[in-house]
Copies of this chain bind each other. A is one copy, B any other.
Amino acid sequence: MTKFMDVHRGMVGITAEQLHEAHDADLAIQAEEGVTFEQAWADPEDGVVYCLSEAPNAEAVQRIHQRSGHPADEIHPVPLVV
């Protein structure tokens, strides 16, 4: 399992409720791909969301995000954490 940071753009004006709903939609199906979504951070002004997960690979992260209706624009493995 590897940690991944994925990035969603074009989310200008995202609200706390929308972020929670999106995260909950991921959590509801994440086990089907062996993914654990840990945290997400949103900048509503620039419309960027960062999402941290642990997963077998980037494709598994993307499949969950796609099925939840918010595919990621970038998915980076982040094996180094401090």
Give the B-binding residues of A (Cβ under 8 A): 3, 5, 14-16, 19-20, 23, 39-46, 48, 50, 52, 76-82
Contact = CB atoms under 8 A, between A and B. Distances in A.
Given A5-B41, A15-B80, A42-B78, 13 more contacts: A3-B41, A5-B43, A5-B50, A14-B80, A39-B82, A40-B82, A41-B52, A43-B76, A43-B77, A45-B77, A46-B76, A50-B50, A50-B78
**Copy number in this complex?**
2
A51 to B, nearest CB: 9
A78 B5 contact: no
Contacts of A23: 82
Contacts of A43: 5, 76-80
